[in-house]
Amino acid sequence: MAGTLPRLTSCARARTWFRSRLRLPYRVRDYDTGDRTGTMTSQEIRQQFIEFFREREHEIVPSSPVVPHDDPTLMFANAGMNQFKPYFLGTETAKRPRAADTQKCIRAGGKHNDLDDVGRDTYHHTFFEMLGNWSFGDYFKKEAIRWAWELLTEKWGIEKDRLHATYFEGDASEGLDPDTEARDLWLEILPPERVHPGNKKDNFWEMGDTGPCGPCSELHVDLTPDKSGASLVNGDDARVIELWNLVFIQFNRAADGRLSPLPAKHVDTGMGFERLCAILNGKKSNYDTDVFAPLFAAIQKRCSAPDYTGTLPSDSTDPSAPQVMVDVAYRVIADHVRCLTFALTDGAIPSNEGRGYVLRRILRRAVRYGRQYFGMQEPFLCDLVPAIIEQMGDSFPELTKRPDHVIELIRDEEASFGKTLTRGIQLFNDAADTAVKQHDGLISGADAFKLHDTYGFPIDLTQLMAEERDLHIDIGEYERLMEEARRQARSGTKLNPEFQHLQLKSGVAFPILETDDAPKHEGLTCAGSILGWLKDGEVISTPALGKDDTAGLILSQTSFYAEQGGQVGDVGTIKTESGVFAVESTIRVYDMLLHVGRVQSGLIKNDQPASCLVAPVRSHTMQNHTSTHVLNWALREVLGENVQQKGSLVDPEKTRFDFSHNKPVAADELRRIESLVNEQVTADHQVHTQEVDQKQALEINTLRAVFGEKYPDVVRVVSIGADIDEMLADPKNEKWMQYSVEFCGGTHLQKTAEAEDFVLIAEEAVAKGVRRLVGISGPAAKEARSKGESLLAECPSQEDVNLAERLSALQTELESAVIPITKRLEIRDLLGEVQKTIKAQSKQAATAAAGDVMTRAQELLDSAQFVGDTKIIVGEVPQANTDALRGAVDWFRQKTESSAVLLACHDGEKVTLLAGMSKDLIAKGTKAGDLIREIAPIVGGKGGGRPDMAQGGGSKPEAIGAAIEGATAWLVERIGG
RNA sequence: GGGGGCGUAGCUCAGUUGGGAGAGCGUCGCGUUCGCAAUGCGAAGGUCGAGAGUUCGAGUCUCUUCGCCUCCA
């Protein structure tokens, strides 16, 4: 599959090239009939947008990944401005004042989750492109408005009298005046009846609760036949739709809610690409454009589906008519597979949490539609990926890099959902049967909830399946269970209650007390002074903190490391002349370092000099952190360049490193990785750190940056063994490849030998395609080694006695022991062999014993007395066990017409009794269980069982004789009498 | 991070107050058949994920742990 791609994409490239030479004229004609044969391809539209702004001195930037690795507040890129956020926030300055691009966006998580709308109308998408142009403190409203107008009307020929503009009408409660500047600019172009004021909701844009914001101005297109849609602007009507949003960022909202003018004013615009393509080609639906046409063709071919006719549930008298649902399925599948292809290409993976979970839900929705309306039982979404790559690979070259990987991920996910679906359908059928028989066609809320909770069946699917069988669901009960589950999940995530008040109150102003934490790299102590503390959600400095008060203490200077980059926050103590504060963890909020903990003794007052004492365990953290870097390097050496860091955690006990690798790391690979790390430790390399310009640092060939992570312009480089200046002077020299170089702000050893030793103690999967290694260093590593050796020495050899007991003891110990993973694997193999021996031995013993038991059984049968027609077989069988006695009872049953049996054996103090009764006796009311209950107390125990076979036991072997006599007497009386 | 579910033969799964580990498919052997398909009879195949506990007795109950699935945050 991959082999054919380059050829296909180059075809597409040639086509674009050819078209661009032709300079075909485009004119938009009639929106009403839609009979215009579209002449502008989406490729061309995208290209012309880019060119238009390139000609106006905009830097054309590539789309940022749709999966942001550097912004934890954002699940997916959802607007063009995401990658420029630092410029608006003022944390970075733009290198060029103007930019334009097309940004890949996904909207599917979030609060207003409109996933269920996608496919049911003409314009909702989970994945879409956003065209945008930006000014960072450069041009403002005038140019933005004029260019938007020029591009739409002059270049693309949209009829001028179909365009409406909106501007911000002002808001008294915020003290904001109307945006007359924008209004007047529009009035120069448009007649007053097509320039509309808009309220704060529609025409004032904010990034978040705080930060840059400003009025916006939107261009709307009137698609009504007679251009009468003026009253429908901002009316949420499909006939008059928003096309281009121009945001003028000119205010900053502070934490107290007040707005202040920004010194630098910015422009941020966004125009939905798919919608634009539809409008320029006179199509009513985004799905009727060539953005989707090739994909629809691929779907039809792969699914042998009926033709796509473009009907919608909303304009049909029967919203669930077969053809309508077929058309919905086309749109759902096309949209979702686009979304998945882009998200997986950018490094996301379907999983059971976070954004991975959103993707899983999207995939499942598509699979369900495919199953239900196209009858697809096998994975099929994966087969649609090449069509997308062929179509979009030119504009988004990243798609062509690892298509196989994306296809495989989708196929696996589809296959595993297929299994869940089959299981769920079974459960549904059971639930439906119960509903029909017992509840008058009402499926219980509990069943619906279980389908959702355990099998991942969304409620709408369950409802659909119910409707097919003319059943209903107890929705009220379902909702109640759902809410309960939500509540439970929430209550589980609360912070340590002691520190809950340390959450900053939102919307309340607070001073930012900046902390200088440079000393963290110098040592474990430093002197600073108290600036204040965070308590009850507020940053304050009075009154003093008394004994046992909990707070987040803020110092002017500190040697504590705040949790960042995988390294945990430090613990320790802070002393002043009047008190001692125990620090339990350290976190960063903005530029404040919060020393979270409690006052141990005395008082802590503001402005006091304070000395920081970081707990000595930090040195173990440093050993582990430096080892982590070497490990990262060793992984590349052993497993190859494909190893990408996926996350890490470094604390005093261990280092936990997650990386992309799609199969378990083999035992010999583990050994090599471990010994490579130790070679570097023994070599006692100097650990170099230096602040370097990011671009320059990226030149270094061996540098390992986290894929997709966004770094500041000046980064701290940590090199193990190689001088950083030398590397910068000759960044491409092959010899650097033998050293570890990373961007890192963490605390490190000065020389690698200080790590002492390194041992891998675990290897496991965390997600599909992601493995996790856990390593330890220092004294803990040495201890693990010797523990491993001693456990290995304890392994029994085949000849040893009491194999079974020793094995069980060793397994228990092995489970909790911290030993090298390589040693663990070795021991596991060894014990596996031992296990086989044990099995063979016990089988042999069983067959031998069976022979003895049969001899004894024959004796008992021969000496048995008759009571009427029934044989009374009672006696002791030495050297037997429960299974052997059962075998004997079965044998007697075959040998005799009618029999009552009681056998006994003992192993040390433990007595086992077994009783059997033939059917005729049971019919007469003599049951094996009764016999056992009667006899077991004689040997000091009890028992029971079924009428034909019962079992009991006790602890008095010396009473077996008495028990047998008792049994004989009981049987003779019952049967004889 | 929290909740729920599952783990039994090579595969798909049953297993009801705790009381002899099962079915179907597959495998192997033997029949019917010239042979195949089909079919009849028979057999092999299990540390019931692992470890502890309760019990006279645990696939079943309790706890711990591993793996997978799933929902919520």
Question: How many Å does it take to go from CA A337 to C1' B15?
Answer: 42
Question: How many Å does it take to go from CA A612 to C1' B4?
Answer: 46
> What is the mean pLDDT of the segment spanning A814-833?
74
ipTM of the complex: 0.81
Cβ-based contacts (< 7 Å) between A 690-749 and strand B: none
Nucleotides on chain B that have an atom closer than 7 A to a protein CB are 1-5, 13, 19-21, 47, 50-52, 55-57, 65-73
Cβ-based contacts (< 7 Å) between A 380-419 and strand B: 416-417
Strands, sheet with A758-767, edge to edge from the N-terminal-most edge strand? A645-650, A655-660, A770-777, A758-767
Q: A872 CB contacts (<8 Å, ≥6 apart)?
A: A864, A865, A866, A899, A900, A968, A971, A972, A975
What distances in angstroms separate CA A634 from CA A629, A661, A677, one per listed residue?
9, 14, 6
Question: How many Å does it take to go from CA A807 to C1' B29?
Answer: 38
Catalogue all structural domains in chain A, each as residue range(s) with its CATH number. 38-281 (3.30.930.10), 419-493 (no CATH), 499-616 (2.40.30.130), 622-785 (3.30.980.10), 864-976 (3.10.310.40)
Strands, sheet with A740-743, edge to edge from the N-terminal-most edge strand? A687-693, A714-720, A740-743, A703-704
Check if residue A948 sits with its Cβ under 7 angstroms from strand B: yes
Q: Contact A93/A112 with Cβ under 8 angstroms?
A: no
The nucleotide minimizing the C1' distance to residue A838's CA is B47
Per-residue 3-state assignment (H helix, E strand, C coil) for A847-859:
HHHHHHHHHHHHH
Question: How many Å does it take to go from CA A895 to C1' B31?
Answer: 30
Judged by average pLDDT, the poorest of A28-32, A129-133, A390-394, A710-714 is: A28-32
For the cut 70, the answer to whether the pLDDT of residue A492 exceeds it is no
**DSSP-assigned letter for residue A305:** P
Q: What's the pLDDT at A474?
A: 84
Measured between alpha carbons, how far is A569 from A345 in angstroms, rounded to an integer? 34
Question: How many Å does it take to go from CA A950 to C1' B45?
Answer: 29
Measured between alpha carbons, how far is A783 from A620 in angstroms, rounded to an integer? 14
For the cut 60, the answer to whether the pLDDT of residue A609 exceeds it is yes
Q: Contact A775/A761 with Cβ under 8 angstroms?
A: yes
Pick the closest to residue A171 from A142, A144, A141, A205 (CA basis): A205
> What is the mean pLDDT of the segment spanning A74-84?
79
Q: Dump pLDDT digits (tens) for A911-928.
A: 899 999 888 888 888 889
Q: How many CA atoms are closer than 13 Å to the CA of A738, on its beta-carbon side?
A: 8
For the cut 60, the answer to whether the pLDDT of residue A19 exceeds it is no
For the cut 70, the answer to whether the pLDDT of residue A39 exceeds it is yes
Do the strands A579-589 and A758-767 form a parallel or antiparallel pair, or are they unpaired?
Answer: unpaired
Question: How many Å does it take to go from CA A945 to C1' B60?
Answer: 15
Cβ-based contacts (< 7 Å) between A 918-937 and strand B: 936
**DSSP-assigned letter for residue A332:** H
Check if residue A941 sits with its Cβ under 7 angstroms from strand B: yes
Cβ-based contacts (< 7 Å) between A 441-470 and strand B: 450, 452-456
Q: Dump pLDDT digits (tens) for A161-194.
A: 899 999 999 888 888 899 999 999 999 999 999 9
> What is the mean pLDDT of the segment spanning A352-377?
80
> What is the mean pLDDT of the segment spanning A388-407?
87
Question: How many Å does it take to go from CA A377 to C1' B35?
Answer: 37
Pick the closest to residue A520 from A747, A692, A691, A715 (CA basis): A747
- Alpha helix (H) ranges present in A693-734? 694-698, 724-729
Q: Dump pLDDT digits (tens) for A398-424.
A: 888 778 878 877 887 787 777 777 767
Q: Contact A875/A929 with Cβ under 8 angstroms?
A: no
For residue A141, give the H/E element and its range.
helix A141-149
Question: How many Å does it take to go from CA A813 to C1' B12?
Answer: 36
Q: What is the CA radius of gyration of chain A?
A: 38
The SS3 call for residue A507 is coil
Measured between alpha carbons, how far is A266 from A81 in angstroms, rounded to an integer? 11
For the cut 60, the answer to whether the pLDDT of residue A958 exceeds it is yes
Q: What's the pLDDT at A509?
A: 56
CB neighbours of residue A145 within 10 Å: 24
Cβ-based contacts (< 7 Å) between A 770-829 and strand B: 808, 811-812, 815
Name the residue closest to B5, CA to C1': A454
> What is the mean pLDDT of the segment spanning A961-976?
90
Cβ-based contacts (< 7 Å) between A 881-900 and strand B: 883, 886-887, 889-890
Question: How many Å does it take to go from CA A832 to C1' B49?
Answer: 15
At A273, the pLDDT band (50, 70, 90 cuts) reads very high
Measured between alpha carbons, how far is A832 from A810 in angstroms, rounded to an integer? 12
Rounded to a whole number of angstroms, the distance between the first and last alpha carbons of chain A is: 86
Do the strands A609-614 and A714-720 form a parallel or antiparallel pair, or are they unpaired?
Answer: unpaired
The SS3 call for residue A553 is strand
Measured between alpha carbons, how far is A889 from A905 in angstroms, rounded to an integer? 13
Q: Dump pLDDT digits (tens) for A683-700.
A: 999 999 999 988 888 889
Check if residue A943 sits with its Cβ under 7 angstroms from strand B: yes
The beta strands (E) that lie in A185-292 are given as: 195-198, 204-206, 211-222, 240-253, 259-272
For the cut 90, the answer to whether the pLDDT of residue A277 exceeds it is yes
Q: What's the pLDDT at A768?
A: 58
What distances in angstroms separate CA A550 from CA A451, A496, A581, A614, A615, one per listed residue?
45, 12, 9, 18, 19
Check if residue A957 sits with its Cβ under 7 angstroms from strand B: no
Q: What's the pLDDT at A13?
A: 36
Check if residue A488 sits with its Cβ under 7 angstroms from strand B: yes
Pick the closest to residue A881 from A951, A942, A939, A828 (CA basis): A951
Measured between alpha carbons, how far is A619 from A803 in angstroms, rounded to an integer? 44
Q: A219 CB contacts (<8 Å, ≥6 apart)?
A: A148, A152, A163, A164, A165, A242, A243, A244, A246
Cβ-based contacts (< 7 Å) between A 30-59 and strand B: none
Q: Which residue has the higher pLDDT, A748 or A659?
A: A748
At A729, the pLDDT band (50, 70, 90 cuts) reads very high
Q: Dump pLDDT digits (tens) for A64-74.
A: 888 876 555 56
Of A274-278, A413-417, A843-847, highest mean pLDDT: A274-278
Judged by average pLDDT, the poorest of A16-25, A214-223, A439-448 is: A16-25
Burial of A434 (0-12, 13-18, 19+ CB in 10 A): middle
Measured between alpha carbons, how far is A167 from A181 in angstroms, rounded to an integer? 9
Check if residue A7 sits with its Cβ under 7 angstroms from strand B: no
Length of chain A: 977
Do the strands A98-106 and A59-60 form a parallel or antiparallel pair, or are they unpaired?
Answer: parallel
Check if residue A843 sits with its Cβ under 7 angstroms from strand B: no
Check if residue A662 sits with its Cβ under 7 angstroms from strand B: no
The SS3 call for residue A606 is coil
Q: Contact A234/A164 with Cβ under 8 angstroms?
A: no
Question: How many Å does it take to go from CA A767 to C1' B67?
Answer: 13
Measured between alpha carbons, how far is A970 from A772 in angstroms, rounded to an integer? 66
Cβ-based contacts (< 7 Å) between A 493-532 and strand B: 493
The nucleotide minimizing the C1' distance to residue A933's CA is B56
Burial of A489 (0-12, 13-18, 19+ CB in 10 A): exposed
Question: How many Å does it take to go from CA A451 to C1' B38?
Answer: 41
Q: What's the pLDDT at A217?
A: 93
Q: Report angle CA A781, A786, A792 to the nearest 5 degrees.
A: 125
Check if residue A331 sits with its Cβ under 7 angstroms from strand B: no
Question: How many Å does it take to go from CA A462 to C1' B1?
Answer: 29
Question: How many Å does it take to go from CA A223 to C1' B36?
Answer: 70
Check if residue A946 sits with its Cβ under 7 angstroms from strand B: yes
Q: Which residue has the higher pLDDT, A803 or A792?
A: A792
- Residue A120: both structure tokens together: 């049911």
The nucleotide minimizing the C1' distance to residue A360's CA is B70
Q: What's the pLDDT at A25?
A: 31
Q: Dump pLDDT digits (tens) for A434-483.
A: 777 777 778 888 778 878 877 777 777 788 778 777 888 888 888 887 77
At A14, the pLDDT band (50, 70, 90 cuts) reads very low
For the cut 90, the answer to whether the pLDDT of residue A246 exceeds it is yes
Pick the closest to residue A44 from A18, A62, A69 (CA basis): A18
The nucleotide minimizing the C1' distance to residue A883's CA is B20
Check if residue A93 sits with its Cβ under 7 angstroms from strand B: no
Could you tell me the maximum CA-CA distance found in chain A, to the nearest angstrom?
121
The b-or-e profile of A735-761 (16+ CB within 10 A means b, else e) is ebeebbbbbbbbbbbeebebbbbbbbb
The nucleotide minimizing the C1' distance to residue A452's CA is B71
**DSSP-assigned letter for residue A976:** I
Measured between alpha carbons, how far is A180 from A167 in angstroms, rounded to an integer? 8
**DSSP-assigned letter for residue A155:** I
What distances in angstroms separate CA A128 from CA A385, A659, A819, one per listed residue?
16, 30, 50
For residue A584, give the H/E element and its range.
strand A579-589
Check if residue A354 sits with its Cβ under 7 angstroms from strand B: yes
Question: How many Å does it take to go from CA A882 to C1' B35?
Answer: 51
Check if residue A350 sits with its Cβ under 7 angstroms from strand B: no
Measured between alpha carbons, how far is A930 from A945 in angstroms, rounded to an integer? 9
For the cut 80, the answer to whether the pLDDT of residue A343 exceeds it is yes
At A967, the pLDDT band (50, 70, 90 cuts) reads very high
